[in-house]
């Protein structure tokens, strides 16, 4: 009789354990992980003047911008919508000359061509003794690359009545998305280009 009671109790325990609901384990929905941190500045102002060594030019830039001198001279710094993680974009600096003055005359824009490119610019302006030629156009997207803004600023410095020296600042791989989102900042930088003030020491 005693053994029967034990078996009855064991059976009751088994039945109760089978009826007990299992705890529900919730699995959070899968989210897209961002493996790349974002250190881009939220906003920037033109707080600093950079004097370009071996160039008769200066430019206003945000505080975190600088120049890297080497085999290729690069002006670089972050913009709010530049590439992750730090938002840094690059502009290449180059110089050529002496060159015949006829080269500058041949490159001067005659009449504005008819184009549907709303980003197109081909303008010449004078600042001091320098002639500044700004060229900009849109390079459509391809299977390999997004749409890019091709943008170059060329400064012509007269050496004498027959010869000039040419200085060029070229944006490297500036995407259309970066340009559109930070257009005001970038155009303000380019508009700030001016002849260097000789009394101000150059930045090293």
The 10s digit of each residue's pLDDT in 10-23 is 455 445 555 455 55
3-state secondary structure of 49: strand
| Confidence (pTM) | 0.76
Which among 190, 197, 192, 125 is positioned nearest to 156, based on CA atoms? 125
**Gyration radius of the chain over CA positions:** 32
Q: Give the pLDDT score at 198.
A: 57
DSSP 10: H
Query: Domain 48-195, what fold?
Result: Protein Transport Mog1p; Chain A (3.40.1000)
The 10s digit of each residue's pLDDT in 117-136 is 999 999 999 999 999 999 99
Asked if residue 176 lies in contact with residue 77, where contact means CB atoms within 8 angstroms, the answer is no
């Amino acid at each position: 009789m005693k053994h029967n009671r034990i078996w009855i109790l064991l059976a009751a325990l088994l039945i109760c354990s089978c009826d007990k609901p299992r705890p529900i384990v919730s699995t959070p929905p899968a989210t897209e992980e961002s493996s790349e941190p974002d250190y881009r500045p939220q906003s920037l102002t033109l707080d600093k003047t950079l004097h370009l060594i071996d160039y008769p030019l200066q430019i206003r830039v945000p505080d975190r911008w600088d120049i890297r001198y080497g085999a290729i001279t690069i002006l670089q710094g972050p913009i709010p919508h530049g590439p992750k993680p730090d938002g840094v974009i690059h502009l290449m600096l180059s110089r050529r000359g002496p060159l015949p003055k006829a080269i500058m005359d041949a490159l001067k824009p005659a009449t504005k061509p008819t184009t549907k490119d709303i980003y197109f610019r081909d303008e010449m302006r004078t600042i001091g003794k320098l002639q500044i030629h700004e060229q900009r156009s849109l390079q459509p997207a391809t299977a390999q690359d997004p749409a890019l803004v091709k943008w170059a600023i060329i400064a012509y410095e007269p050496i004498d009545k027959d010869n000039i020296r040419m200085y060029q600042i070229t944006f490297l791989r500036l995407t259309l998305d970066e340009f559109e989102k930070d257009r005001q900042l970038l155009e303000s930088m380019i508009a700030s280009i001016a002849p260097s003030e000789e009394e101000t020491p150059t930045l090293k």
